[in-house]
């Protein structure tokens, strides 16, 4: 058995959150960074972040 995590069932990201103001309304922004690859993905709102995470996890095979 390998000590490396199964990349289909294990994800690690650095999450950055910050608040911006748009007129009188405040909005949260997000950035995910994959520490393995350095790839970054930005999100204009939390709903977009959650939708991405949902999609990422949707088709992962069940653990044995």
Give the domain range for residue 32.
14-57
Instruction: Write out the chain's pLDDT in tens, 64 residues.
Output: 455 556 667 889 999 999 998 777 889 999 999 999 999 999 999 999 999 999 988 876 676 6
43 part of a folded domain = yes
Pseudo-torsion of CA 59, 38, 32, 21, nearest 10°?
Answer: -150
pLDDT score, position 63: 67
The count of structural domains within the chain is 1
22 part of a folded domain = yes
2 part of a folded domain = no
Residue 28: closest CA among 40, 13, 14, 16: 16
Give strand pairing partners of 19: 28
At 31, give phi and psi (nearest 5°): -140, 125
| Cβ within 8 Å of residue 28, ≥6 positions away | 17, 18, 19, 20, 45, 46
5 part of a folded domain = no
């Amino acid at each position: 058995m390998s000590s490396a995590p199964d990349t289909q069932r294990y994800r690690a990201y650095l999450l950055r959150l910050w608040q911006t103001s748009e007129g009188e309304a405040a909005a949260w922004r997000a950035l995910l960074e994959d520490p393995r690859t350095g790839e970054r993905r930005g999100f204009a709102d939390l709903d977009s972040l959650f939708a991405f995470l949902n999609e990422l996890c949707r088709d992962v095979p069940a653990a044995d």
